[in-house]
Structure 1
Amino acid sequence: MSDSLNIPGYSAGTTAVAASPVTLADFALMRKSVLFDDQDIRYLRLSHEVLKDQVEAILDVWYGFVGANPHLLAAFCAHDGQPLGDYLGAVRRRFGQWILDTARAEYDQRWLDYQHEIGLRHHRSKKNRTDGAAASAIVPFRDLFLLIYPITFTLRPFLAKAGHSAEDVEKMHAAWLKSCLLQVTLWSRAYVNAGDF
């Protein structure tokens, strides 16, 4: 993948990203709830070495899955139901960076703030604004949440390609699952009333 600074719309760590309403202390409790610990961070970082040269192949699988399911592809379609190629391409570049960011496992305030931004970009509050797209106004939360399984399930063969032991592959996979659960939970903040989160 290219340098994240050259990805249009990728704004992690910039003033364009508002502070997350979820504090680092809140996030620490979330980590406890999903049994996410320092070992998971180590295995995510190990996965970075495994995945960094496979990003495009992973995206091919994920985009193939979305494209094969019209109800998922709808988030990238114009009001006439036609997919918006430029929008799909722009999101794909940021999605590739998301793979690398997840594998780098830097759970600091910058990262937490950007998770909030990602959630807003899936929700009607900011969807389409980054790319000026005329796509559907929201990614339904049910789809966002349920995609955790196909994303993590289809990642497993890629994690196994570097010759690590079955135990290490399992630990990398478990760390990815936990991280995805944490991230989608953070993204849900845009969908949930403040007092209910």
Structure 2
Amino acid sequence: MFNRTFGYILAAALAAGLGLLAASHFFGRDAGTGAPAFQAVTLLPQTRELPPFNLRQSDGTPLVPGELAGHWTLAFLGFTFCPDVCPMTLAQLAQAQKQWEALPEATRPRVLFVSVDPERDSPAKAGEYAHAFHPDTLAATADVPALEKFATSLGFVFMKVPGKNIGQNPDDYSVDHSANIALLDPQGRLAGLIRPPFDPQAIAADLLRLHAAAEPAP
């Protein structure tokens, strides 16, 4: 079902890494002072429109590009059987989310957890898992082709990795996936990336700064 070769994964990951390196060179530092412009976020040289996508949210409603409008969004790939990276990342993001809970719900930054394991994670299960870390976290999944399209648009990759007992137990597998976090702007465009290790305070500071800059002047 996850029909992706190692060569494709490596090539896509390398391309994403080179793009991030270029962004870091051009936008990682303030042009006037040379000091870091953001603590955690690396902005891309230019925002990038995402191609149409259609995921399924935990409440059963579709997640389409328009649903992300109006908010800065942090999108992260994972799966509920993930033993370490996913729960750690969601816990760190939950710490950041607490720092902007006082902002208006209509514009406060959001976190989007996308399960890339639709065989075991229904939309409802993905939502239950994500909401255990923070109730504001959005959760979604889809069939593999739709997930691949969405992941590729963010410069991310994922691949099913069979376990030793896959023949006796079809659920004996893991899913390798990109560990970066994608930053989407209030127009739903890819605007930047956050690379591990993650610092919740730095992420919160950057998102609060972005939110303040996007707010209209009184």
Q: Which has the higher contact order (CA 8 A, sep 6+)?
A: 1
User: Common fold, TM-score beyond 0.5?
Assistant: no
TM class, shorter-length: under 0.3
Asked which structure has the greater CA Rg, the reply is 2
> Higher helix proportion, which one?
1
TM-score normalised by L of structure 1 = 0.25
